[in-house]
Every structure is written in structure tokens, then in C-alpha cells.
């Protein structure tokens, strides 16, 4: 809830009140078409994201950082990333039902997107390893896990900050397009982590590529691309909600209330 109030230097700002946390489990959501429409959108968006991303990896590997950043810019109206969904769930922005369905749709969309790449560009697909994520030679597991944790933290924290309605209300006189900082964050993370893990920071992207490529190396390292992003997302959610915002106690109290029901 927001209303216009006088701000510094004559600017109009808005007095803002945080909305209540999303219910932990809302069975009524299952009866709403809006939920299934959003799930379908996640499936399609992740399919297209993986198709273009993996196609770029195998065809023009040296341009991957810029291309992925541009794709994040275009697709950032959705989640297309289980780590982002998980972080928003921990912050009580989405319910458990919605979070689970989003993650399933994202993983299925990723599998289909990579499958289309293999079907249409099979020779390049095999030659360049199917765009599958794995730990690069010369790096140990701890380094790879740390890279995924830090990279995902940067991404998810940027999502929280760029889409924070309180900040948007406070700085309403400064127009900010949320996809810009998100895309830039992804670009910087890719520059730092491509030499180490090929840059996962999205479990669905890593899962879809591993399923279709189906070789031992990506599967041996695959846990890194789930554990790392989920830890990074959890830290980002905790930092934004409990350290930077006063809403953390409300979310924690809502979790306890849901557990006692």
C-alpha cells in the first residue's frame, strides 16, 4: 500500500507499507487459473531460455556472457530459475505450492529446450559437450561450490533489490528498469565463474543440459549446481529480509504460525 507524500527537493515519494507474507501453504491456489497460467509461462520461458543459451554455448562460446545477460534482461519478468524461486519462497513472496510447481515447470522446460538444441544441431551439440555444466580441470569441489554459492547470491540478491517495492516507492522519482541490474549481475557472474564451473547459478539450466547430454562428468559434479545455488539463494533471502529489511520477523512469525496450524 502506498500514497504520495512530499519528498526531498520537491520530489514526490510514496509512503509504503509491506504487504503481508504469502501463506506458506494455500490449497485454494490450486483452484485458480492464474497459478496454472504462471506455471505454463515458466515452462515456456525456461524452454526458450535454455534453447537459446545452449545454442549460443555450442555455436559461439566466446559470446556467452553477453548473450546470457541479454536473455536474463528479456526473461526477467519470470523466475526461470529454481534458485530464484527458492529465495522468493524463503522470503514468503510465493507459496510452497507455487514454488514447487514453478521448479517442476522450469526443469521440464529446460529439458525440452536442450532437447530441441540436440535435435536441430546434433553435430555442434556433441562437439561442445552439450552445454552441460561441470567442474573445470584444476579446480576442486570446494572452489566450484563456492563459485556457485557466491554467483547465485549476487543474482538473487540483485533480484530482491531490483524488484523491492519499498525501494521503488521510496525512489519513485528515479525510474529504474529491474531487468537492467539483473542482466548486469548475470553478466558479471559469468565473467567470474565460467572458467570454474561454466556458470550454473540456475539448477534447471544445469539439470536440463545434464539430462540430455547424459555423460558421467556432468552427473558426477551435478550436485554442486543444486546445492550451491540453493545455499546462495538462501543467504541472499536471509540478508535482504532479515538484515536490510524489517520484514524478516514478520516472515519468521508467519512460518511459525503455519507450522502450528
Closest CA to 58 of 120, 146, 140: 120
pLDDT recorded at residue 78: 73
Give the burial class of 58: count Cβ atoms within 10 A of its Cβ; 0-12 exposed, 13-18 middle, 19 or more buried.
Answer: buried
**Could you give the CA distance from residue 138 to residue 132 in angstroms, rounded to a whole number?**
18
- Between 169 and 219, residue with greater pLDDT: 219
Per-residue confidence band for 259, with pLDDT thresholds at 50, 70 and 90: low
- Between 76 and 234, residue with greater pLDDT: 234
Q: What are phi and psi of 221, to 5 degrees?
A: -95, 0
**Cell for 63?**
559470446
**Could you give the CA distance from residue 100 to residue 39 in angstroms, rounded to a whole number?**
10
Residue bearing cell 527537493: 9
CB atoms within 10 A of CB 219: 14
**Could you give the CA distance from residue 5 to residue 187 in angstroms, rounded to a whole number?**
37
**b vs e for 23-57, b when ≥16 Cβ sit within 10 Å of the residue's Cβ?**
bbebeebeeeeebeebbebbbbbbbbbbbbbbbbb
Give the DSSP per-residue string, 29-42: GGG-HHHHHHHHHH
Q: Which residues, including other chains, have CB under 8 Å from residue 55's CB and lie 6 or more apart?
A: 117, 121
Q: Highest-confidence range of 48-57, 70-79, 165-174, 222-231, by mean pLDDT?
A: 222-231
Hey, where are the domains in the chain? 27-243
- Interhelix angle 64-75/33-59, rounded to 10 degrees, is 170
pLDDT at 251 over 70: no
pLDDT at 50 over 60: yes
The answer to whether residues 240 and 160 touch, using CB atoms and an 8 Å cutoff, is yes
pLDDT at 83 over 50: yes
**Could you give the CA distance from residue 72 to residue 64 in angstroms, rounded to a whole number?**
12
Tell me what the pLDDT averaged over the chain comes to: 80
pLDDT at 74 over 70: no
pLDDT at 227 over 80: yes
Q: What is the pTM of this model?
A: 0.80
pLDDT recorded at residue 89: 94
Mean predicted confidence (pLDDT) in 56-68? 59
- Between 111 and 28, residue with greater pLDDT: 111
pLDDT at 202 over 90: yes
The answer to whether residues 228 and 147 touch, using CB atoms and an 8 Å cutoff, is yes
Per-residue confidence band for 241, with pLDDT thresholds at 50, 70 and 90: confident
pLDDT recorded at residue 7: 52
Q: What are phi and psi of 137, to 5 degrees?
A: -60, 140
Has domain 27-243 been given CATH number 1.20.1080.10? yes
Give the burial class of 152: count Cβ atoms within 10 A of its Cβ; 0-12 exposed, 13-18 middle, 19 or more buried.
Answer: buried
Q: Half-sphere exposure of residue 8, counting CA atoms within 13 Å on the CB side?
A: 3
Amino acid at each position: 500500500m502506498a500514497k504520495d507524500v512530499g519528498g526531498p527537493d520537491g520530489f514526490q515519494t510514496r509512503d509504503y507499507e509491506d504487504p503481508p507474507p504469502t501463506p506458506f501453504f494455500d490449497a485454494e491456489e490450486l483452484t485458480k487459473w492464474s497459478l496454472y497460467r504462471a506455471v505454463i509461462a515458466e515452462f515456456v520461458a525456461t524452454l526458450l531460455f535454455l534453447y537459446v543459451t545452449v545454442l549460443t554455448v555450442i555455436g559461439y562460446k566466446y559470446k556467452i556472457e553477453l548473450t546470457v545477460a541479454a536473455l536474463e534482461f528479456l526473461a526477467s519478468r519470470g523466475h526461470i530459475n529454481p534458485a530464484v524461486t527458492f529465495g522468493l519462497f524463503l522470503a514468503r513472496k510465493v507459496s510452497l505450492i507455487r514454488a514447487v510447481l514453478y521448479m517442476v515447470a522450469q526443469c521440464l522446460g529446460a529439458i525440452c529446450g536442450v532437447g530441441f538444441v540436440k535435435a536441430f544441431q546434433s553435430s555442434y551439440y556433441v562437439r561442445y559437450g552439450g552445454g552441460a555444466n561441470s567442474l573445470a580441470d584444476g579446480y576442486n569441489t570446494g572452489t566450484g561450490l563456492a563459485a556457485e554459492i557466491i554467483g547465485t547470491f549476487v543474482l538473487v540478491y540483485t533480484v530482491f533489490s531490483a524488484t523491492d517495492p519499498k525501494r521503488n516507492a521510496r525512489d519513485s522519482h528515479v525510474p529504474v528498469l529491474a531487468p537492467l541490474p539483473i542482466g548486469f549481475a548475470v553478466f558479471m557472474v559469468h565473467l567470474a565463474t565460467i572458467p570454474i564451473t561454466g556458470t550454473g547459478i540456475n539448477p534447471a539450466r544445469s539439470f536440463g543440459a545434464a539430462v540430455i547430454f547424459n555423460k558421467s562428468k556432468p552427473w558426477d559434479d551435478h550436485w554442486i549446481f543444486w546445492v550451491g545455488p540453493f545455499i546462495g539463494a538462501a543467504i541472499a533471502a536471509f540478508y535482504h529480509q532479515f538484515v536490510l529489511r524489517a520484514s524478516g520477523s514478520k516472515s519468521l512469525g508467519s512460518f511459525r504460525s503455519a507450522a502450528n496450524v
